[in-house]
Amino acid sequence: MHLTRRTFLQQVITASSLGLAPASLLRGAGAVTPFGKAESCVFLWLGGGMAQIDTFDPKRKGDPKGRIAGSAYDAIQTAVTGVRVCEHLPRLAARLDRMTILRTLNHSVIDEHGAATNRLYTGRKVSGTVVYPSIGSIVNHQLGAGSDAVPGYVLIGYPSVSRGPGFLGPRHGFLYLTDTRVGPAGLSRPAGMDVDRNRRRTALLEVIRKSTRERLPGNHPVVQYDEVIGQSQELAAGTFKQAFNLEKEASSLREAYGGEFGQRCLLARRLVEQGVRFVEVLHNLNFSNGTGWDTHNQGQLNQHILIQEVDQALAALMDDLEKRRMLDKTLIVVATEFGRPAEFDGGGGRGHQGSTFSAVLAGGGLRHCGAWGETDELAKQPASDPVSVPDFHATIHQALGIDPSKELFDGDRPVPITDRGIPVASLFG
């Protein structure tokens, strides 16, 4: 169907009257995509480059020793007819009816992890003039925390610029922690500092903060940072820290989640339960296979350990949320900066590939289909329904009720939330 400008404008007006986003118009079809039901997002980051051909998009079996291109593992059937995954994902295979693998995600950044990571987090290429916000900061900016007692964006792992708020400013940044047992640093009184001394220091800080607020405009970076200090003090005095006491959960549940990555996922559930809108969980922990997801050379040998950890933790998270009637309200995203080619390198591992790779969506009240898009015989190029990184971002925003076409402002400069991304409409409605 050819979509004329007049027809398009008529549909935009109709969509607006129904409270639907203009950017929700389908690709050339003229229909309107409704918003999703999700109220929060758990974003699982498999940093290093998950091999789609060894996980969620298996192809014919290859041989690292013989340098024969193909998957490293056998494939198994799933709960969705015609969709198969790696043999090390049996739990997720059984739950794929509540999941969608986006198999045709793609971009042109392959040579450098940092640039590819930035592309996935911000949805854009690095710019010399604009520091773009991460998707977590945008969600925080648009939705805010679900409670005054919690932050809007929590990162469980190490911070980076790509995960930050960019031009949105510090108030939309993340609170981070690296140890699930103790929670974020800085929310507890340091050892050796008694109550009176802490009270004096807080009073002195308040004098400085008040003077700053009186001298500088509200949009000044220092004033925005001051707001972050104020929020931190409120979090330190409130009940937020209780979320980090995983010992309150039944031992059977903690065991179901598995090791440290699983415990991070359990904490993510507790944070979402308290009202945190966006929780990111990093999986590249201590390189348990030797290299993490960056499976060059010998890292390939024990890649199955990482895959099994994701299988156990994500399945437990889905079950836990579903039991609490939270799965439809929580969008789970599994993402990585790029994929891996079907060919094996001289050391038996794989290189980098951005031309097509997989991401996963689960829960969130979406109309799941097991897998979206098809790749060629060795998962090197999209064969149908390609999904750009902006489309990926637009789909997440749509699921959370955020208009993907809305404009933000870097000073006086309008900046669209996504770089002309269009949500995968089949997942909605």
Pair 144, 231 in one domain: no
* Cα atoms found within 13 Å of the Cα of residue 383, Cβ hemisphere only: 9
At 126, list the tokens: 């690095």
Last residue of a domain, one of 175, 208, 238: 238
Average pLDDT of the segment spanning 343-370: 95
Domain membership of residue 347 (yes or no) is yes
Mean predicted lDDT score pLDDT of the chain: 87
Report the alpha-carbon distance of residue 153 to residue 131 in Å, rounded: 18
Pair 53, 126 in one domain: yes
Domain membership of residue 43 (yes or no) is yes
Pair 106, 220 in one domain: no
pLDDT tens-digit series, residues 113-130: 999 999 999 999 988 899
pLDDT tens-digit series, residues 373-429: 999 999 999 999 999 999 999 999 999 999 999 999 999 999 999 999 999 999 998
From the list 46, 51, 58, the residue with the least C-alpha distance to 300 is: 51
Pair 138, 89 in one domain: yes
| Domain count of the fold of the chain | 2
Pair 234, 97 in one domain: no
Measure CA 328 to chain center.
17
Pair 224, 342 in one domain: no
Pair 222, 92 in one domain: no
At 93, list the tokens: 């295979």
Residue 114: strand, helix, or coil:
helix
Residue 104: strand, helix, or coil:
strand
The DSSP line for 40-56 is EEEEEE-TT---GGGTT
Q: Is 422 left (phi over 0), alpha (psi -120 to 50) or beta?
A: beta
Residue 3 has pLDDT above 70, yes or no: no
Pair 70, 125 in one domain: yes
At 104, list the tokens: 């045709």
Q: What is the pLDDT of residue 339?
A: 97
**Across-strand partners of 281?**
44, 156
Domain membership of residue 10 (yes or no) is no
pLDDT tens-digit series, residues 139-173: 999 999 999 889 999 999 989 999 999 999 998 99
3-state helix, strand, coil in the chain (%, to 5): 40, 15, 45
Domain membership of residue 65 (yes or no) is yes
Pair 346, 313 in one domain: yes
Pair 269, 204 in one domain: no
pTM value is 0.86
Helix (H) or strand (E) holding 113: helix 113-122
At 227, list the tokens: 């707001």
Pair 212, 264 in one domain: no
CB 401 within 8 A of CB 38: yes
**Residue that the structure tokens 């693998």 belong to:** 101
pLDDT tens-digit series, residues 192-203: 666 566 567 666
Pair 202, 84 in one domain: no
Q: Which domain holds residue 218?
A: 188-238
CA dihedral sign, ordered 90, 373, 321, 184: positive
